Amino acid sequence: MYSTLSDMQIRKLVKSGYASLVVAVPKDWLTRNKLKAGDLVYINDDNNLLTIGAEPKGETKAKGEIVINIDGKDEMIILRELNTAYMNNVKHIILRGKELNKHAKYIKSAISGLIALELVDESSERIVARSFLNIPDIDIKTLVRRVDNILRSMMIDTKESLNDPSLADSVIDRDKEVNKLNNLLAKVIKSGFTDKEIQGTLKMSDLDLLRYWELTGHMEKIGDRTKNIASIAKNLKDSRKERFLKLFSSIEKIYLESMKSFYDFNQKLSDHVSLERRKVLIDITKYIEESKSTICSQIAINAYNLTAHINHIGRIVRYLD
């Protein structure tokens, strides 16, 4: 939230000592935040914008409560409203309605799929969930690495599922974990966008948060497409397995390179991924033409979309500089 010109105060930089410059902080702000000489403040440098915040208190609590009336709503809408409340860091989420018994099993399953959200009360009239998440405890970069490791294992087991079809079920289960972690990441990143104190604890600029918001969205879709491919590929005939392995391995390779380009913020490597994707797209087209199979066509559709999300990771590196 930006201040208007009428809200802004102009202060002069004053020389202090041999090489330092200081600026006076408004007294009203000091009083409001109960600060005195010697207290710590957090300074966030975001290009030409310098944000000063009071020292985080070490715990960022969820806020208030929300009541969700479920009557007359499709379960998908109930899920969307529940996820919205979760991502808005609401402390108590109350779901109620005359149709509660009808949807109770679905609602409890949805609650269990949200990290640090626990069912604390249940009756025939209402279900209450409470958030126990302390956002300053969360490290976005560590969570992203965790999602990345899960995606890598999903790709490996998708290839192995050709010999052991039971691994496809394992891939599908791990996609659920990717979704849970992605919802958590969305909650934390959104909180950083909307609360400067939380952003200070995350130690990320606005641009950092935007990069990770974009990244996690594409990683979730990569998980979805990998899951779809695994569930289809296990049914391939033996004569078509070798061709699939070659194609999917090339997709796996550009995924690994795209993530390396993000971690290293290597624009040259991200450009390389974009060029390699063109070759993969040609290979996907040939795969469809050669196979003339419904199963192979379904794999190809998911492979095409999978490479698109991988390519978007490279775009983050190139354009959100």
- What phi, psi does 54 have (nearest 5°)? -65, 155
pLDDT number for residue 36: 83
Residue pair 19/10 in contact by the 8 Å Cβ criterion = no
pLDDT number for residue 316: 97
pLDDT number for residue 196: 87
Distance separating alpha carbons of residues 20 and 32, to the nearest angstrom: 27
The reply to whether the predicted model has a pTM over 0.85 is: no
Distance separating alpha carbons of residues 78 and 100, to the nearest angstrom: 11
Tokens representing 3? 């201040």
Name residues whose C-beta falls within 8 Å of residue 5's C-beta, 6 or more positions apart in sequence: none
Residue pair 129/104 in contact by the 8 Å Cβ criterion = no
Residue pair 135/198 in contact by the 8 Å Cβ criterion = yes
3-state SS string over the chain?
Answer: CCCCCCCCCCCCCEEECCCEEECCCCHHHHHHCCCCCCCCEEEEEECCEEEEEECCCCCCCCEEEEEEECCCCCHHHHHHHHHHHHHCCEEEEEEECCCHHHHHHHHHHHHHCCCCEEEEEECCCEEEEEECCCHHHCCHHHHHHHHHHHHHHHHHHHHHCCCCCHHHHHHHHHHHHHHHHHHHHHHHHHHHHHCHHHHHHHCCCHHHHHHHHHHHHHHHHHHHHHHHHHHHHCCCCHHHHHHHHHHHHHHHHHHHHHHHHHHHCCHHHHHHHHHHHHHHHHHHHHHHHHHCCHHHHHHHHHHHHHHHHHHHHHHHHHHCC
pLDDT number for residue 5: 41
Distance separating alpha carbons of residues 199 and 56, to the nearest angstrom: 10
pLDDT number for residue 33: 76
pLDDT number for residue 56: 54
Q: How far is CA 85 from CA 88, 124, 129, 135, 182, in A?
A: 5, 22, 11, 15, 15
Distance separating alpha carbons of residues 267 and 257, to the nearest angstrom: 11
Tokens representing 244? 């699939």
β partners of residue 16: 20
Query: In this structure, are strands 117-122 and 63-69 parallel, antiparallel, or unpaired?
Result: unpaired
pLDDT number for residue 77: 97
Distance separating alpha carbons of residues 102 and 87, to the nearest angstrom: 25
pLDDT in tens, 210-230: 999 999 999 999 999 999 999
Tens of pLDDT along the chain (321 residues) come to 344 444 567 888 887 766 678 888 888 878 877 788 877 777 766 666 777 777 555 455 557 899 999 999 999 999 999 999 999 999 999 999 999 999 999 999 999 999 999 999 999 989 999 999 999 889 999 999 999 999 999 999 999 999 999 999 999 999 999 999 999 999 999 999 999 889 989 999 999 999 999 999 999 999 999 999 999 999 999 999 999 999 999 999 999 999 999 999 999 999 999 999 999 999 999 998 888 889 999 999 999 999 999 999 999 999 998
pLDDT number for residue 204: 93
pLDDT number for residue 3: 44
For the beta carbon of residue 36, count every other beta carbon within 10 angstroms. 7
* 199: exposed, middle or buried (Cβ count in 10 Å: 0-12, 13-18, 19+): buried
Distance separating alpha carbons of residues 160 and 164, to the nearest angstrom: 6
pLDDT number for residue 26: 86
Question: What's the one-letter identity of residue 34?
Answer: K
pLDDT in tens, 36-60: 887 777 776 666 677 777 755 545 5
Put the strands of the sheet holding 126-131 in their side by side order.
63-69, 90-96, 126-131, 117-122
